[in-house]
């Protein structure tokens, strides 16, 4: 019995030593929100939607026309930008993108307010806009 307890303790300590460094190097959401938003839209005091994807991804391709329509419909009220993850690896890493497409919503002060992974239809996006007070 004592041998089993010692073995379990050794296993736990070994696992902690192996995996702790992985968690210590993860990017933090406490990073400046400006680092997480493209410079060309970070200064605008409007809510923002960043859509992270890749042009070859089928759900990402399906998102493109939806985002284009919403860009026109919400012009001067919301900034919408498609981020190609291959072209913006630092931005992708800073936003901890794990799956594409991922939509990250920011308020006018550049604070993240909502995140969705996978395809998101027009009505779902509009519902998030309404929740943050965009008419």
**Neighbouring residues of 10: CB distance < 8 A, sequence distance ≥ 6:** none
Q: Which of 41, 44, 46, 57 is labelled catalytic? A: 57
Instruction: Read off the pLDDT of residues 52-105 as tens digits, 9 standing for 90 and up.
Output: 999 899 999 999 999 999 999 999 999 999 999 999 999 999 999 999 999 999
List pLDDT tens digits, range 117-130: 999 999 999 999 99
Is the pLDDT reported for residue 12 higher than 70? no
- Residues 109/115, Cβ–Cβ less than 8 Å: no
Cβ burial of 119 (10 Å; 0-12, 13-18, 19+) is middle
Q: Where are the beta strands (DSSP E) in 38-96?
A: 48-53, 79-84
Please identify which of the residues 37, 50, 60, 125 carries the catalytic annotation: 60
Domains contained in the chain, number:
1
In a domain, 21, yes or no: no
- Whether 57 is in a domain gets the answer yes
Does 9 reside within a domain? no
Q: Catalytic residue at 84?
A: no
pLDDT at residue 133 in the model: 87
Q: Which helix (H) or strand (E) holds 21?
A: helix 2-24
Name the more confident of 135 and 52.
52
Instruction: Look up the CATH number of the domain holding residue 104.
Output: 3.40.30.10
DSSP conformation class of 16: H
> Active site includes 38?
no
The two tokens of residue 121 are: 């239809």
């Amino acid at each position: 019995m004592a041998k089993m307890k010692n073995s379990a303790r050794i296993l736990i300590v070994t696992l902690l030593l192996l995996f702790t460094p992985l968690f210590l190097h993860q990017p933090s959401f406490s990073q400046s929100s400006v680092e997480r938003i493209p410079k060309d839209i970070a200064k605008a005091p409007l809510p923002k939607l960043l859509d992270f994807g890749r042009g070859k991804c089928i759900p990402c391709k399906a998102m493109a026309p939806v985002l284009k329509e919403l860009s026109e419909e919400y012009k001067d009220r919301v900034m919408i930008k498609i981020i190609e993850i291959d072209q913006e690896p630092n931005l992708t890493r800073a936003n901890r993108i794990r799956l594409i497409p991922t939509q990250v919503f920011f308020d006018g002060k550049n604070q993240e307010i909502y995140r969705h992974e996978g395809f998101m239809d027009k009505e779902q996006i509009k519902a998030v806009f309404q929740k943050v007070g965009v008419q």
